[in-house]
């Protein structure tokens, strides 16, 4: 694309657009600001205490147990006001992080949560009737990753988690409870951590140095990463004034004393100097990466096969034809599958019918044979009955003849006795 030739003109009088920065400031103050912080760290490492100390208030977060079966993310939103500036602050805490044996089960819910916030913003952006003006942006702007003050090296879980999160969120590593190790050990620990992050390709958030007003301080602070912090809302009297500190038998660790810890540096970099850059990086870098990958997965592209620009309408039409063709192909496959299944079912039914017919013929033959056997038995029985009847009749005739013969003999004997 050829760049247009832009002419510079000199105005002959006052116009008034020099007030645009003031208009922008007034509008921003009227709308208010939002900032979302994700705190990742093991249970009991001091996440809630540090957040309370950063914003100088008690957020009343309840203590979590070490026996959570799964990692869950708890988001709480608060309305804060300083002078005439309103801030909608969302704190997302990881409950049960590091308590699981399976490392993936610890960091995957965090990745899913960040992606879910990107997806919600993308869906709002893709609506026909959008309301981004008053949309509550829940995308995570900064991730404070709390590292245990072991003094040795990063844990495997920390490396895996940060490697999975560095392309999705601005990671600011902090060494929690930094008063647990000496200054010499702490400095060596910082160098070791940064070396491990670089060697493993983990991209943490670097404070921007392109703005002349903050370039020097940001470049200096990049050399202090990761920040070694101590958090406390307890006030201890030091000299003639009360300061936030931690009281130990051997002495006092002052939270806001830069000789004791990097808490002031963290607060300055996170809230006072680079909060807007964190919000901008989230939108222009991390969200844009998610949006581009998501739209490419959906089939959208800026250029066609011949590197020609594609309009949204052309991409939509091409995608519609592709989906229609895919649907038609699946419909044909389903029809063929249905016909095939019907044929297979018909074959099974025909085979079952043949089996039933064969069984019926067999039973019919068996029945016929049994019937013939019964008929033969019946015929034999009838012959036996006839033979028995004949024998019975002959026997009766014989008995009658015998009986009559005996009677005649008696009569003859009786007559002879009368004559004598």
pLDDT band at 233 (very low <50, low <70, confident <90, very high): confident
Beta-carbon contacts of 149 under 8 Å, excluding residues fewer than 6 positions away, are 175, 176, 177, 178, 180, 181, 186, 189, 228
Alpha carbon separation from 321 to 130, 299, 316, 406 (Å, rounded): 27, 12, 9, 124
Q: Looking up tokens 């026909």, which residue turns up?
A: 128
Q: What Å distances lie between residue 152 and 188, 190, 283, 405, CA to CA?
A: 9, 10, 35, 143
Both 37 and 89 in one domain: the answer is yes
The answer to whether residue 167 sits within a structural domain is: yes
Q: How many residues does the chain have?
A: 420
Whether residues 354 and 288 fall in one domain:
no
Domain ranges, residue 342:
306-386
Identify the residue with better confidence: 44 or 286: 286
Same domain, 111 and 148: yes
User: Region 8-23: what's the mean pLDDT?
Assistant: 85
Cα(371)–Cα(33) distance, rounded to whole angstroms?
101
The single residue listed with the structure tokens 């601005």 is 170
The secondary structure of residue 151, as a DSSP letter, is S
Q: Do 336 and 263 share a structural domain?
A: no
- List pLDDT tens digits, range 350-373: 999 999 999 999 999 999 999 999
Domain count, the chain: 2
What pTM does this model have?
0.71
Q: Indicate which CATH number applies to the domain containing 281.
A: 3.40.50.300
* Domain match, 72 and 191 both: yes
Does 34 lie in the same domain as 153?
Answer: yes
Same domain, yes or no: 234 and 311:
no
Domain presence at residue 260: yes
Tabulate helix, strand, coil % of the chain (nearest 5).
55, 15, 30
Which tokens in the block code for residue 100?
Answer: 């699981």
Which pLDDT does position 235 carry in this prediction?
84
Quick one: 123 and 239 in the same domain? yes
> How are strands ordered across the β-sheet holding 251-254?
235-238, 241-248, 251-254
Residues 227 and 289 placed together within one structural domain of the fold: yes
- Given a contact cutoff of 8 angstroms between Cβ atoms, the answer to whether 122 and 132 are in contact is no
Which residues sit opposite 259 in a β-bridge?
A: none
Q: Is the pLDDT of residue 8 over 90?
A: no
40, 64 Cβ separation under 8 angstroms = no
């Amino acid at each position: 694309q050829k760049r247009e030739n832009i002419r510079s003109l000199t105005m002959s009088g006052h116009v008034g657009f020099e007030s645009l920065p003031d208009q922008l400031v007034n509008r921003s103050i009227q709308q208010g600001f939002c900032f979302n912080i994700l705190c990742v760290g093991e249970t009991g490492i001091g996440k809630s205490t540090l957040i309370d100390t950063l914003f100088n208030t008690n957020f009343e977060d309840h203590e979590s147990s070490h026996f959570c079966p799964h990692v869950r993310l708890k988001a709480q939103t608060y309305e804060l006001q300083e002078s005439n500036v309103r801030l909608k602050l969302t704190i997302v805490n990881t409950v049960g992080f590091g308590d699981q044996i399976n490392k993936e089960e610890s960091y995957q819910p965090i990745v899913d949560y960040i992606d879910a916030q990107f997806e919600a913003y993308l869906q709002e952006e893709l609506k026909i009737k959008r309301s981004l003006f008053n949309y509550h942006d829940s995308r995570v702007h900064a991730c404070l990753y709390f590292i245990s003050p072991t003094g040795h090296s990063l844990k495997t879980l920390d490396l895996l988690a940060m490697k999975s999160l560095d392309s999705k969120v601005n990671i600011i590593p902090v060494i929690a409870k930094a008063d647990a190790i000496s200054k010499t050990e702490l400095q060596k620990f910082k160098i070791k951590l940064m070396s491990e992050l670089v060697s493993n390709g983990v991209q943490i958030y670097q404070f921007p140095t392109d703005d002349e007003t903050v370039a020097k301080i940001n470049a200096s602070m990049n050399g202090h990463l990761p920040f070694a912090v101590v958090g406390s809302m307890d006030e201890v009297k030091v000299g003639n004034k009360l300061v936030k500190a931690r009281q130990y038998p051997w002495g006092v660790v002052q939270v806001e004393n830069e000789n004791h810890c990097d808490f002031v540096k963290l607060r300055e970099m996170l809230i006072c100097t680079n909060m807007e850059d964190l919000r901008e990086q989230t939108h222009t870098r991390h969200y844009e990466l998610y949006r581009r990958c998501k739209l490419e997965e959906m089939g959208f592209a800026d250029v066609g096969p011949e590197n020609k620009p594609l309009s949204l309408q052309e991409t939509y039409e091409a995608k519609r034809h592709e989906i229609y063709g895919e649907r038609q192909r699946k419909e044909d496959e389903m029809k063929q599958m249905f016909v095939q299944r019907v044929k297979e079912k018909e074959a099974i039914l025909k085979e079952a019918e043949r089996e039933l017919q064969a069984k019926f013929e067999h039973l019919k033959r068996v029945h016929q044979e049994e019937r013939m056997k019964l008929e033969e038995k019946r015929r034999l029985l009838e012959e036996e009955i006839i033979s028995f009847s004949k024998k019975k009749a002959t026997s009766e005739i014989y008995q009658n003849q015998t009986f009559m013969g005996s009677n005649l003999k008696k009569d003859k004997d009786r007559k002879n006795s009368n004559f004598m």
